[in-house]
Chain A
Amino acid sequence: DTGVSQDPRHKITKRGQNVTFRCDPISEHNRLYWYRQTLGQGPEFLTYFQNEAQLEKSRLLSDRFSAERPKGSFSTLEIQRTEQGDSAMYLCASSTGQGGLNEQFFGPGTRLTVL
């Protein structure tokens, strides 16, 4: 399978705990994106990387959130001191980054439940 993969698929945690999600993009895709999707809403952009550089962060990304893509391949999204409002589906996507805006391929998502 050469699609975008995410791990874990589900995460249940208690309020105040830290969680980390991983995303493995399609091989050789330069761009990697994180989105958050709450129930009944479309995905909302959080941040994106071109190779290892984090080029844009949404205002939704509070200081409790941090994302990394250390070698320009996989990426991690960490949420510190989780709150119930963080409960959502966290989606990762990747694209080739060739030219202008191009098609983003999405992973299955990580569903986070904060109790």
Chain B
Amino acid sequence: AQSVTQPDIHITVSEGASLELRCNYSYGATPYLFWYVQSPGQGLQLLLKYFSGDTLVQGIKGFEAEFKRSQSSFNLRKPSVHWSDAAEYFCAVGYSSASKIIFGSGTRLSIRP
């Protein structure tokens, strides 16, 4: 079955520090990979997506993610976090044969002043 694992439930980093959020997905041909962010009271916003091509993808708000097929991973990174990055982050996977997206359980990011 298709699944997404985000092993870190909650992460706290200091403002200005680097960030890496982990994501692993179950094996499947041609995965479509996404990272969404959800702030309190806000809808889900797409940060970035990977369909094919360059395995390092750039997104909005200074985020990037790297697809590693050998590790079935799609980790999200940011070199320097800002207090406004505090939110819930969801990794998600879809497959070209289906239209639904499978979400991970999320990682809550807190920023230490």
Chain A residues within 8 Å of B, Cβ to Cβ: 3-4, 31, 33, 35, 40-45, 48, 50, 55-56, 58, 91, 93, 95, 100-101, 103-109
Number of B residues near A (Cβ < 8 Å) is 25
Residues of A within 8 A of B105 (CB): 40-42
Residues of B within 8 A of A4 (CB): 43
Quick one: CB contact mask for B32-67 with A, threshold 8 Å, 1 for yes? 101010000111111001000000000000000000
Chain B residues within 8 Å of A, Cβ to Cβ: 4, 32, 34, 36, 41-46, 49, 90, 92, 94-96, 98-106
A31 touches B44 (CB 8 A): no
> Taking A42-B103, A42-B106, A44-B103 as contacts, is the C-beta distance between A101 and B98 under 8 angstroms?
yes
A91 touches B44 (CB 8 A): yes
Q: Which of B46, B90, B101 has the most CB of A within 10 A?
A: B101
> Taking A41-B106, A42-B104 as contacts, is the C-beta distance between A107 and B99 under 8 angstroms?
no
A108 touches B42 (CB 8 A): yes
Question: Nearest residue in B to A50 (C-beta to C-beta)?
Answer: B99
A45 touches B102 (CB 8 A): yes
Q: Which 10 A-B pairs have the closest CB atoms?
A: A42-B103, A45-B100, A100-B96, A106-B44, A101-B94, A108-B43, A106-B43, A101-B32, A43-B103, A42-B90
